[in-house]
Amino acid sequence: MRSKCILLIGIVSALFVTQGWAVPANFPAKPIQLWVGFPPGGPNDMETRALCYGASKALGKPIIVSNKPGGGGLLALELLKLEEPDGYTLANITDTPLTRTPHMMKVKFDALKDFTFLIRTTVERSTLVVQSDSPFKKFQDMIDFARKNPGKLTIGVSGYGTSRHIALEQIAKMENVKFQYVFFTGASPVLIALLGGHIMVGNMGPTAWLPHFKAGAVKPLLRWEAEPMPGVADLPSQGELYKFPAPPSNAHLIIAPKGIPKPIADKLLAALIAGTKTPQYTALAEQLSFIKNKMLSGNELNQWVEANYNLYGKLIGDLGIKAAPEK
């Protein structure tokens, strides 16, 4: 009987190891890789590097940041899916390639089944901005122009199929107007095009335009988020004017491959939360106008991702948004 018990214990122990449930007591025993799914210098990249300062200290091992840009975050997700779920490879990504892109094109992963969602660290603010001498003095002026001049209102947007693009499509449908979009790879190119007079309206985060607002070169017309924007008084929000079925916000998530053991996930989450509490991270969040009270983890985060995946699936179908045309 004793030999049978030993054999059974051995089988169960082997099963735990093969299923990835064995958790090393000394985790992490080596540096952790944290990929950023976008080029250097953008909001996700800057956030990740500030976050890792405190998170590395909490873990007692370095967190090495590297960029894996491509496809608006798709490449990082495709590569992350193939990694071992051992806690040594993570990625900072926006929710667009998880909750929106899969409804517009075929992707090489299952957004809801192939990843472990550790934390939603923050939400980016975004606004519609025009030059200070624009004839659009308020948001309604922009809509009136679009109605009188179908397809002639040019709006620069950072990314096809992003929350900001879909938010504008919701407005266009509600107002029965048509916008002419010009898509860019980030907020900086949108701002340059706006200041150069190549587009009439720019849809971007305040990090890009706030210095020019203070200098009197641009002015905002509408903010997407409900939270007031520091330094800008009396700016109407989307929620005050329209009821959207899906949120227009751009969220930052840190995720891991599916199957990461819970004790390791919990240890990583605690370190990441510690990283968000450092003066370095707090200062950067204020500089980039992040909304920090949007942090989510655990079941709340899983439910949020799934709910938004389903919401955007229906919304994108209703709006008839297809994959971006080949260049």
Q: Where are the domains of the chain?
A: 29-123+249-319, 127-241
Question: Using an 8 Å Cβ cutoff, are 127 and 220 in contact?
Answer: yes
Res 1 pLDDT > 80 = no
Distance CA 265, CA 260 (A): 6
Determine if the peptide bond prior to 28 is cis (ω within 30°).
Answer: yes
Whether the predicted pLDDT of 278 surpasses 50: yes
| Residue of higher predicted confidence among 318 and 41 | 318
Q: Is 188 or 88 the better-scoring residue by pLDDT?
A: 88
* pLDDT one-digit tens code per residue, 241-276: 998 877 778 899 999 999 999 999 999 999 999 999
pLDDT above 90 for 197: yes
Phi, psi of 58 (to 5 degrees): -65, -35
pLDDT for position 23: 60
Q: CB–CB of 48/34 below 8 Å? A: yes
Average pLDDT over residues 109-127: 95
Which residue has 């405190």 as its token pair?
54
In order of 57, 217, 223, 229, the CA distances from 232 in angstroms are 36, 14, 10, 6
pLDDT score for 279: 95
Position 2 scores a pLDDT of 46
Confidence of residue 231 (pLDDT cuts 50, 70, 90): confident
Containing H/E element for 269?
helix 262-275
According to DSSP, the residues that pair with 237 across neighbouring strands are 223
Round to whole Å and give the CA distance between 253 and 249.
13
- Residue 326, pLDDT above cutoff 90: no
Q: Looking at residue 88, what DSSP letter applies?
A: S
Whole-number pLDDT of residue 312: 94
- One fold for 29-123+249-319 and 127-241: yes
| Per-residue confidence (pLDDT) for residue 22, from 0 to 100 | 56
CB neighbours of residue 80 within 10 Å? 23
Give pLDDT tens digits for 283-297. Answer: 999 888 888 777 999
Q: Check whether 185 has a pLDDT greater than 90.
A: no
Top-tier CATH class for 29-123+249-319 = alpha beta
The full length of the chain comes to: 327
Third-level CATH fold of 127-241: D-Maltodextrin-Binding Protein; domain 2 (3.40.190)
- b/e 102-136 (16+ beta carbons within 10 angstroms → b): bbbeebebebbebbbbbbbbbbbbbbbbbbeebeb
Q: Mean per-residue pLDDT for 83-87?
A: 97
Asked if 67 contacts 38 with a C-beta cutoff of 8 angstroms, the reply is yes
Q: Is 216 left (phi over 0), alpha (psi -120 to 50) or beta?
A: left
pLDDT of residue 311: 93
Mean pLDDT for the chain? Answer: 89
Q: 95: helix, coil or strand? A: coil
